[in-house]
Amino acid sequence: MKSPSPRFVAALFCFAFAAIVFAGDFKSAIISGGGSLSLPHVANDQFLVIRNFTQNGAGTSRGVVTVTTHTGGPTNVLTAAILDPADTSAGSLEVINDVVIAGPADVTVMCGTAATDCFITYRKDSQ
């Protein structure tokens, strides 16, 4: 019986390592206009990654992500990028930013009142 080729063993190791590294799944949520969402509490040894925060429809009020820590009051750390299908000009696209929030913290997402809805993608993970 032949033993497995070294290339096969190396490839198997790479695939197994990639499965471990990318094990954290992102979650998504839709928030109606004027609504809010409390994300899971971020403990001391955890962090929260917000990869995407957008809102449909233009308006004067944008959605915000607010972080409250044990040492201070609430702080706005991210505003929603507006996706307006009615505006088709070339310069109308906004940059979609992301943020990493270290624990301990409580995170609240509020959608703008003039928005149709907001969309957020996040992942909570241990350090």
Instruction: Output the pLDDT for position 13.
Output: 46
Q: What is the pLDDT of residues 24-72, one digit of tens each?
A: 589 999 999 889 999 989 999 999 999 999 988 766 688 999 999 988 8
Residue 60, amino acid: T
**CATH 2.60.120.340 assigned to 25-126:** yes
Q: What is the DSSP string of 94-117?
A: -----EEEESSEEEEEE--TT-SE
Instruction: Report the pLDDT averaged over residues 90-118.
Output: 85
Instruction: Report the pLDDT averaged over residues 77-86.
Output: 84
d(CA 36, CA 17): 38
Task: Give the global pTM.
Answer: 0.73
Domain parsing of the chain, residue ranges: 25-126
Over 90: is that where the pLDDT of 87 sits? no
18 against 27, higher pLDDT: 27
Q: What is the mean pLDDT of the chain?
A: 80
